[in-house]
Structure formats: C-alpha cells, structure tokens
Structure 1
Amino acid sequence: MTADAWEWDPLLYSGSAAYYPRGRLAYPESLAEALAVELGLDGTGRLLDVGCGPGSLTLPLAGLVEQAVGLDADQGMIDEAGRLAAAAGIANTRWLRMRAEDLPAGLGTFRLVTFAQSFHWMDRSQVAAAVRGMLDANGACAHVHATTHQGIEGDTALPHPRPPHAAIAELVREYLGPVRRAGRSVLPRGTVSGESEIYRAAGFTGPRRIEIPGQVVTRLTDEIVAATFSLSSSTPHLFGDRRTEFEADLRRILLDTSPSGLFSEQMREIAVDIWRP
C-alpha cells in the first residue's frame, strides 16, 4: 500500500497518548508569542486544533483565545488532553473525539484553525475545504511544520551523546519488519507532502511563514523510550506480547550509548505557514 492509498486506521496511535508529554518536546513559548503577534491574538475568538493529540499545541495557545477546541480521532489522546488541561488549571478548553473528515460538525466559526504534525493523516482536500468555511472573516489557518520526537544529525559538539536514532530504527525493524508500520497498515513511502497545493486548491491564499529556531536540549533515557512509543510506526500495541522485550532491548542500546542516561540533541527549527481564506 502506498502513502497515497493509505486509509485511516483507528489503531494508528492506540496506546501512545500517555507517552506524548514525556517523549515529545514541548512547543516553545516563542511559538505562541509569534502567533499572537502575527495574528493579533488578544484573548478573544476561538481556536480549533485539528488532530490535537494530547493538546500539545492547544494548551500553549489556549490563553490567547476565549475558547480552545481540540479535536482528535483517538480517545486516548482526548483523555490525556483533558487530564493535562485540568492539571494545568486551563479551563477554557473543549475536547472532542472526532475525525477531521466529520467537520464542520456544527462547531461554528473560529479565529484560528491549527494543524500541528497532523494534516498528513487526513483526507486533506476535504478537510482543507471544510476548515476554510469555518474561519471568521479575518481568520487564519496555521500549519505547523515541526519534529518534536527527535533532533537532527550534525557535527556540532554537544554536552552529551546524541540518541542513537539509527540503532533504534533498526531495532524497530527487527521487531516489526522492514516496512514502516502505521496502525494495522504500512507506509512504504512514508506520509504524503505537498500541503501548499492542497491549501491553494481549497481557496486559501499565502502562505506567510514564521520560523522559530531549533534549540539544543538535554533528554533522559525515559524520554527517548517514550518518544519511540509515541510514534505511529512503533506504538506499544504493535509489539504485542513482545513489548516488554523490545523495551528492554531499547534501554540496553541507550545505556550502551550513554551510561549516564543523558543525551543531547539539536532540534529542528519550527516553521509555521499562515494561510488566509
């Protein structure tokens, strides 16, 4: 099955929600600040975060709007988002288990709609058209390009060893096979790209791009393990009764790489494309 022919699988991220907060790097405050300046966010209007996961972007932006609505097809993600919102005392959020393809679903209009590492899992043409019709007159759609589970390779000296991403990927292949898994399906060519053509075909104009520099971060062994289980290609359920065995092998690789349990990474820059209806 090719990426273009891939069909939604409700088990895509099954069991991974609890690993997100620890395994994925939080979006920096500078991202919310840049969006606030660019879009004039002042505590009014509504936000719709489509494919919100556990609220990774919804929660940092919630203070900039009157109401933040997070939508995701995975119940575990919605439950984790609600838990994190309650723990942080963020009360202006609403969480909906729903596929993006079900929009507009009577949700009304929004000042800002966001897609953060989620658009490629959807029927993009259908969703983009629906979202355009849900924007206020001066509304905008923000497409966030980011990689929050791992950093980039390079020769820059870092205070601790880099996580052994190639060795981790090889271990996953040993357990799950040579073709990338995605729920009960496979993605031999990876996820789709070409977002700009989709947005323009739906009637959007732009984009205007905002860029946030990547940071050097220090990570712990538990965080690298959580990052691995947060991926659609290595969610816990894919390993079946070998999950514990896989984790033991993963931790052994990490210990061999950094006996201290500390790792350093240079994270990729975050780019946000702002599209207007």
Structure 2
Amino acid sequence: MPDGWEWDRTLFRGSAAHYERGRLPYAPGFPEALAEALGLDGRGRLLDVGCGPGTVLLPMARFFTEAVGVDPDEDMLSEAGRQAGRRGVTNARWVAARAEDLPAGLGAFRAVVFAQSFHWTDRDRVAATVLEMLEPGGALVHVSDLKHPLPEPPPPPLSAPPYDRIADLVRRYLGPLRRAGQGVLVNGTPGGEELIIERAGFRNLARLVVPAGEVVTRTTDDIVAWTFSRSDSAPHLLGDSLADFERDLRALLEETAPDNRFAERLPATEIRTWRKPPK
C-alpha cells in the first residue's frame, strides 16, 4: 500500500463504465502464454484479486473449472458480470471484497492473479494470506504492462495521444499531488513486489514478456474514457468541475488531432509468477 495513504471506497468511483473503451488491452496471446507457463489443463480454480471489470479473469476463465473475481467496487463487478454475459463466460463468479478480507471462505486455488492491483493492498498481509489459499505448487501471478522499454511512437500520419498534456490538465484541476480516492500519493505507488512476495514464502520467480507493438487507432472518446478510467482522474474527483474538465480535455485533444483520431502501439505484457512450495 502506498506510504501515508489509506484505501477508501471511492478509489475508482465512476471509472468502471470507462474501462472497456478507455484501457488498452494486454498483449495479444497473453492468456495462452500464461496458461502455457503455468501448465494449465482446464482444471483447478483461479482467483483474480482486484479484478476490476474482468480484464484478465474473463480471457483466462476457460483454462480453469471456476474463476472467482474479487473487487471492493461493486460497479466494477457489475461491469464484469455484464462482460461475462456478453462473452459467454459461464464459470465466473464475483465477490465484493477487499484483498485484506481474504480468505473470505473462498477455498483453495491453483492460481491467484494480481493485474496491476497488488500495489493498492497491504502487501505483506495479502501475500501471506494468498500463500495459505494456494494449493501446494500453486502460483501467484503478477500481470502488468512492460514499463521499460516504452513502446516506440506510432508511425505518421496519426499523432500519439498527448498524455503529458493530459497530465498537466489533471494537475491544473486537481493539484500537483496525485489523487487516489480521498487521499494523495505523495511518493506515487510502491514497487518492490518481488521482495515482499518472496518474504511471504513464495519461491521460483519466473518472468515472461509477451510481445506486442501493434499500432491501434484511438478516438477522442477513447482517450476521454482512458482519462476517466484512472484512479487519479476518476470522475468523482472532479465534482462540480467535471463538465468543465471534459470540455477542456476535448479541446486539448482536438488541438492535437483535429480529425479526432490518434494512434499508439500496444505495450508488451510482463508476467511474473511465483510458486507456493510443494509439501
């Protein structure tokens, strides 16, 4: 959990409806790559902690008998259920809970996934709990975009989204410190997951990078949705200034791309796995 910050239920309030449109997908083929890395065969259970709208759980559910998504944001879970119905995923269920509420009577799992969510938790406590929830030899999985090196800029003629200018606009409305729920992240979000997870008793770290780099076209509406899908610019933070902020955001985007079309490359996906020692 970030230093000096306490979780509250408003962290992603109002963001769920913007996720599917706003967030770039993980690298094509990442579910198959993860299934191969873990030796999945359609058996066992998956737990996705901080599952959001099911971004990772839904494409992974077919490799398990059951997939359980846990998230404290009920709007995220409603969106996940809607997406499951749209995709025909019938072996998923959703539990409104924080990571710190685990084990919550959920039973044992073959794999537990954190997709860009572990840093929001009481990490030592949660890692120790997950170790107890896993079957012997089971895996804790950490999924994220590959941060370094960054994807190359897209080729002309389309422009990349002006993310630096969007960040400046957010600071102009919300102040210089990154907002998160009712608090601020003075030092950003923490790293050091590997040390914490290994301290909990996990072993055999393995790292897999699933390549991407495909150029995707994005619209102004997509970039607006991306902005509102983020914890540091979630709609609730803007309050009565929401309409003014969106007007200024759209004007900024139109200035960059008068035809309302942008391009960017999909980032590679980094998967790190640790194993619970066999008995």
If the length of structure 2 is used for normalisation, what is the TM-score?
0.94
Return the letter of the residue paired with 2:203.
Answer: T
Bigger Cα displacement from structure 2, 255-264 vs 222-231: 255-264
SS in 2 for 1:10: coil
Aligned to 2:180: 182
If the length of structure 1 is used for normalisation, what is the TM-score?
0.95
Aligned to 1:113: 112
Task: Answer whether contact 1:15 1:236 (CA < 8 A) is retained.
Answer: yes
Residue 267 of structure 1 deviates from its aligned partner by: 3.1
Deviations 1:185-214 (A, max 9, x none): 001211011000100110001310010113
Does residue 234 of the first structure (1) align with residue 242 of the second (2)? no
Classify 1:152/1:220 alpha carbon distance in 2 versus 1 (closer, same or farther; 3 Å).
Answer: farther
Aligned to 1:100: 99
Aligned to 1:16: 15
CA distance in 2, matches of 1:275, 1:218: 35
Task: Kindly tell me the number of residue pairs found equivalent between the two proteins.
Answer: 274
CA distance in 1, matches of 2:10, 2:76: 12
CA distance in 2, matches of 1:106, 1:156: 47
Aligned to 1:32: 31
Which of 161, 170, 176 does residue 172 from structure 1 map onto? Answer: 170
CA distance in 1, matches of 2:154, 2:222: 22
Aligned to 2:212: 214
Return the letter of the residue paired with 1:204.
Answer: F
Percent of aligned pairs sharing the same letter: 53
Task: Answer whether contact 2:141 2:271 (CA < 8 A) is retained.
Answer: yes
Task: Answer whether contact 2:8 2:182 (CA < 8 A) is retained.
Answer: yes
Deviations 1:174-195 (A, max 9, x none): 1111111001100121101100
SS in 1 for 2:7: coil
Task: Answer whether contact 1:71 1:98 (CA < 8 A) is retained.
Answer: yes
Task: Answer whether contact 2:2 2:119 (CA < 8 A) is retained.
Answer: no
SS in 2 for 1:63: helix
CA distance in 2, matches of 1:243, 1:196: 38
Equivalent positions of 1:246-257 (< 5 A) are 246-257=245-256
Task: Answer whether contact 2:21 2:225 (CA < 8 A) is retained.
Answer: yes
Q: CA RMSD in A?
A: 1.7
Residue 153 of structure 1 deviates from its aligned partner by: 6.7
Residue 232 of structure 1 deviates from its aligned partner by: 0.5
Return the letter of the residue paired with 2:25.
Answer: A
Task: Answer whether contact 1:116 1:146 (CA < 8 A) is retained.
Answer: no
Residue 22 of structure 1 deviates from its aligned partner by: 0.5
CA distance in 1, matches of 2:240, 2:25: 31
Classify 1:163/1:124 alpha carbon distance in 2 versus 1 (closer, same or farther; 3 Å).
Answer: same
Task: Answer whether contact 2:3 2:187 (CA < 8 A) is retained.
Answer: no
CA distance in 2, matches of 1:152, 1:267: 10
- Structure 2 gap ranges (5+): none
CA distance in 2, matches of 1:155, 1:25: 15
Task: Answer whether contact 2:116 2:143 (CA < 8 A) is retained.
Answer: yes
Return the letter of the residue paired with 1:112.
Answer: A
Deviations 1:10-68 (A, max 9, x none): 10000100100000112244110111111121211100000000101000101111101
Equivalent positions of 1:1-277 (< 5 A) are 3-146=2-145, 152=150, 154=152, 157-215=155-213, 216-277=215-276
Residue 159 of structure 1 deviates from its aligned partner by: 4.2
CA distance in 1, matches of 2:211, 2:28: 12
- Structure 1 gap ranges (5+): none
Bigger Cα displacement from structure 2, 47-56 vs 25-34: 25-34
